[in-house]
Structure 1
Amino acid sequence: MTIPSNFLTATETIALINDGKLTVTQLALDHFARYEARDAEVEAWAYINKDHILKEAKRLDDLPKEKRGPLHGMILGVKDMINTYDLPTQHNSPIYKGHQPGIDAAPVAVCRALGALIYGKTHTTEFASTGVGPPAHNAYDPARTPGGSSSGSGAAVGDYQCQIAFGTQTGGDTIRPGSFNNIFAMKPTWSAISREGLKIFSVTLDTLGLYSRSVSDLQLLAYAFRLIDDVPPPLTPKPLSECTFGYTKTHSWYISGGPSPELIRAYETSKEILLSAGAKIEEFEMPPEFNDLALLRNRYIMAGEGRAAFLPEYVANRWGLSDQLASHVENKQFVITRQMQLQAYDEIAALRPIVDGMLGKYDAVVTPSVPGEAPIGLGSTGDARFCSMWTALHVPCVQIPGFASENGMPIGLTLVGPRYHDQKLLSTSKAVAAVWNGYDNAKLVKLPGEPAEAVHAKP
Structure 2
Amino acid sequence: MQPYELSLAAAAEEMRERRLSPVELVDSVLEQIDTTEPGLQAYVTVTAERARAAAREAERDAGAPAAGGSSTTGRPSQGLTGSRGPLHGIPVALKDLIDVAGVATTASSRVREGHRAEADSSVAERLAAAGTALLGKTHTHEFAYGLLTPQTRNAWDPDRVAGGSSGGSAVAVAAGAATFALGTDTGGSIRVPAALNGVVGLKPTYGLVARHGVTSLSWSLDHVGPLTRTVEDAALVMSVLAGHDPRDPASLSVPATDYRPAPGGDLTGLRVGVPGNYYFDHVDPEVETAVRAAVTHLEALGATLVDVEIPMTRYIQATHWGLMVPEASAYHERTLRSAPERYGDDIRVLLEAGELMSAGDYLRAQRARTLMRQAWLRMLAEVDVIAAPTVPATAVRSGQETVTWPDGTTEGVSDAYVRLSAPANVTGVPALSLPVGRDRAGMPIGMQLLGRPLAEDVLLRVGHAYEETAPGHGYAPADVATASR
Give me the whole-angstrom Cα distance separating, in 2, the residues matched to 1:37 and 1:125. 23
Conservation of the 8 A alpha-carbon contact between 1:154 and 1:178 = yes
In the TM superposition, residue 44 of structure 1 has moved relative to its aligned partner by 0.9
User: Which residues in structure 2 correspond to 1:256-267 (within 5 Å)?
Assistant: 258-267=282-291
User: Which residues in structure 2 correspond to 1:189-208 (within 5 Å)?
Assistant: 189-208=205-224
In the TM superposition, residue 59 of structure 1 has moved relative to its aligned partner by 2.2
| 1:268 and 2:292 are equivalent in the alignment | yes
| 1:69 and 2:84 are equivalent in the alignment | yes
Q: Cα–Cα, structure 1 residues 263 and 140, in superposed 2: closer, same or farther, change >3 Å?
A: same
> Equivalent residue for 1:240?
267
Q: Cα–Cα, structure 1 residues 117 and 232, in superposed 2: closer, same or farther, change >3 Å?
A: closer
| 1:138 and 2:165 are equivalent in the alignment | no
Q: Cα–Cα, structure 1 residues 286 and 316, in superposed 2: closer, same or farther, change >3 Å?
A: same
Among 184, 188, 194, the residue aligned to 1:168? 184
Q: Cα–Cα, structure 1 residues 440 and 95, in superposed 2: closer, same or farther, change >3 Å?
A: closer
Helix, strand or coil at the partner of 2:288: helix
| 1:306 and 2:328 are equivalent in the alignment | yes
Q: Cα–Cα, structure 1 residues 125 and 440, in superposed 2: closer, same or farther, change >3 Å?
A: closer
C-alpha distance after superposition, 1:380-418 (max 9, x if no partner): 774211101111110000101121101111101100101
Helix, strand or coil at the partner of 1:291: helix
Conservation of the 8 A alpha-carbon contact between 1:131 and 1:149 = yes
Give me the whole-angstrom Cα distance separating, in 1, the residues matched to 2:471 and 2:33. 26
Conservation of the 8 A alpha-carbon contact between 2:95 and 2:182 = yes
Helix, strand or coil at the partner of 2:421: helix
Give me the whole-angstrom Cα distance separating, in 2, the residues matched to 1:64 and 1:403. 39
Q: Cα–Cα, structure 1 residues 334 and 405, in superposed 2: closer, same or farther, change >3 Å?
A: farther
In the TM superposition, residue 172 of structure 1 has moved relative to its aligned partner by 1.2
In the TM superposition, residue 449 of structure 1 has moved relative to its aligned partner by 5.9
Give me the whole-angstrom Cα distance separating, in 2, the residues matched to 1:322 and 1:40. 23
Paired residue type of 2:235: Q
Helix, strand or coil at the partner of 1:119: strand
Larger mean Cα displacement after TM superposition, 149-158 or 18-27: 18-27
> Equivalent residue for 2:68?
none
Over aligned residue pairs, what C-alpha RMSD do you find?
Answer: 2.6
Paired residue type of 1:293: I
Give me the whole-angstrom Cα distance separating, in 2, the residues matched to 1:243 and 1:412. 21
Q: Cα–Cα, structure 1 residues 311 and 440, in superposed 2: closer, same or farther, change >3 Å?
A: closer
Give me the whole-angstrom Cα distance separating, in 2, the residues matched to 1:440 and 1:69. 28
User: Which residues in structure 2 correspond to 1:276-291 (within 5 Å)?
Assistant: 276-287=300-311, 289-291=312-314
Q: Cα–Cα, structure 1 residues 393 and 437, in superposed 2: closer, same or farther, change >3 Å?
A: farther
Among 401, 408, 416, the residue aligned to 2:435? 401
Larger mean Cα displacement after TM superposition, 178-187 or 34-43: 34-43
Conservation of the 8 A alpha-carbon contact between 2:209 and 2:225 = no
Larger mean Cα displacement after TM superposition, 348-357 or 197-206: 348-357
Helix, strand or coil at the partner of 2:136: strand
> Equivalent residue for 1:369?
390
Give me the whole-angstrom Cα distance separating, in 1, the residues matched to 2:477 and 2:231. 22
Paired residue type of 2:447: L
Q: Cα–Cα, structure 1 residues 149 and 304, in superposed 2: closer, same or farther, change >3 Å?
A: same
Paired residue type of 2:320: R
Larger mean Cα displacement after TM superposition, 368-377 or 49-58: 49-58
Give me the whole-angstrom Cα distance separating, in 2, the residues matched to 1:115 and 1:220. 13
Conservation of the 8 A alpha-carbon contact between 2:340 and 2:348 = yes
Give me the whole-angstrom Cα distance separating, in 2, the residues matched to 1:131 and 1:410. 17
> Equivalent residue for 1:454?
none
Helix, strand or coil at the partner of 1:137: coil
> Equivalent residue for 1:447?
479
Q: Which runs of 5+ in 2 are unaligned?
A: 64-80, 244-253, 402-412
> Equivalent residue for 2:410?
none
Larger mean Cα displacement after TM superposition, 105-114 or 358-367: 358-367
User: Which residues in structure 2 correspond to 1:96-115 (within 5 Å)?
Assistant: 96-115=112-131
Give me the whole-angstrom Cα distance separating, in 1, the residues matched to 2:273 and 2:201. 20
> Equivalent residue for 1:455?
none
> Equivalent residue for 2:239?
223
TM-score, normalised to structure 1's length? 0.89
> Equivalent residue for 2:27?
29
User: Which residues in structure 2 correspond to 1:10-21 (within 5 Å)?
Assistant: 10-21=8-19
In the TM superposition, residue 428 of structure 1 has moved relative to its aligned partner by 2.1
C-alpha distance after superposition, 1:167-186 (max 9, x if no partner): 11111111011111111110
Give me the whole-angstrom Cα distance separating, in 2, the residues matched to 1:338 and 1:106. 32
Among 347, 351, 362, the residue aligned to 2:372? 351
Conservation of the 8 A alpha-carbon contact between 1:188 and 1:395 = yes
Among 294, 306, 318, the residue aligned to 2:340? 318
Paired residue type of 1:26: E
Paired residue type of 1:180: L
C-alpha distance after superposition, 1:27-59 (max 9, x if no partner): 111101211221121111111133332222222
The share of aligned pairs that are identical, in percent, is 23
